[in-house]
Amino acid sequence: AFWSIFFVAMMINLQVSIVEAAVSPTWRAFHGAAIIDTSMIVFGGTTDPSMNPYSTSTQGSNDVWVWNTTHNEWTHPEIQGSSTPKPQKFLTSIALQSKGRMLSIIGNAPSPANSLLILDSYFWMWTTPNSRNDYAFCGTERCCYFGVPDLILIN
């Protein structure tokens, strides 16, 4: 009986330690987010509530946070790839559910051909897709887009 009580006490202490060590993102606004499987992926946005987000001096972020709806916890995955985007604000992201990917159109890409980014949620890697034709997207502040299987519709 003593060992059972001791074990339960240790488990309670361990659970408290895990909760205290949990990570979560800082406050943010004007970020992109997409639901993929049982996770909400959040990318970019402004992170200082005391700053005017419309000011050119207010920086965006380029970090990625994931809310797991099954375990009710945040994680901060390490993102791979050579296409790590510049810090972003005022963007929207969409999910390609069947492929486990999040697409984001960014406004400050090095060239119009690099303004579409794909985040693979299985390998946590950014890529820029290759296209057979030239394309340039509108600025993200006045752009509406959504995804259907194998297509992105932009207005």
Q: For 3-44, write each residue's pLDDT tens digit.
A: 555 444 444 444 433 344 458 999 999 999 999 999 999 999
45 — phi, psi (to 5°)? 100, 170
Full-model pTM: 0.73
Amino acid 107: pLDDT: 78
Amino acid 35: pLDDT: 95
Domains of the chain: 25-47+57-154 (2.120.10.80)
Amino acid 48: pLDDT: 95
Amino acid 133: pLDDT: 56
Amino acid 125: pLDDT: 94
Q: Which residues, other chains included, contact 88 with Cβ-Cβ below 8 Å and sequence gap of 6+?
A: 31, 32, 43, 44, 45, 60, 61, 62, 104, 106, 107, 108
Encoded tokens for 47: 């992170």
**Residue segments in the chain with a per-residue pLDDT below the cut of 70:** 1-22, 82, 131-155
Sequence-ordered alpha helix ranges (H) in the chain: 2-20
Sign of the C-alpha dihedral computed for residues 147, 150, 152 and 153 taken in this order: negative
Amino acid 97: pLDDT: 81
